[in-house]
Amino acid sequence: MNTKKCIQNVCVAGLTFLMFTSCAKMPKGAEPVKNFQKEKYLGKWYEIARLDFKYERDLNNTTATYSLNDDGTIKVDNQGYNYVKKEWDQAIGKAKFVGDETVGQLKVSFFASFYSGYNVIALDSDYTYALVAGKNLNYLWILSREKTIPEAIKQEYLGIAEELGYKISDLVWVEHD
């Protein structure tokens, strides 16, 4: 085999490895919830707080609605009101489990085959409140089935996030009006 062909094969193998492993990452020390029940997680969630990033910048009234696709993946329907542009934004994607469906570690995509981590790291037994970590310390969400969250749950989730190294002072607290 010539050197050029060998280099190409190594590059393809390396890119394939990165594509399939980078999406499964989560912050060091974070653990996805065990005994996760997909059916109970489906439905509408209100975003209570998030670390801001370009796809959600200037959004309030943000929600995520999860439902099953025919192929067994999870449809992700994110919506929010852009208060600067004065219009609703929507992003439709899909999520897949990284491994066992009883572990809250998923990967989500809004752009063809580019996936990122979606890790449920805290969840109450009634599936009413969730703390979700992304692939690194730049992505974090606090979710609720209601537009508010009890102070005790809020403090518990903030404590978990801070212990993992998240800069909780940078959280954007979402308005639902």
pLDDT at 10 over 70: no
pLDDT in tens, 68-118: 999 999 999 999 999 999 999 999 999 999 999 999 999 999 987 788 999
For residue 129, list its beta bridge partners: 144
What is the CATH number that goes with domain 3-173?
2.40.128.20
pLDDT in tens, 34-59: 999 999 999 999 999 999 998 899 99
Q: Which pLDDT value is given to residue 24?
A: 58
pLDDT at 17 over 90: no
For residue 61 the two structure tokens come to 């009234």
pTM of this prediction? 0.86
CB 32 within 8 A of CB 104: yes
- Classify the C-alpha dihedral 141-144-149-152 as positive or negative: negative
CB 116 within 8 A of CB 137: no
CB 83 within 8 A of CB 58: yes
Strands 87-97 and 105-111: antiparallel
pLDDT at 16 over 80: no
pLDDT in tens, 150-171: 999 999 999 999 999 999 999 9
Q: Which pLDDT value is given to residue 146?
A: 98
CA distance 20 to 13: 11
For residue 130 the two structure tokens come to 């969730």
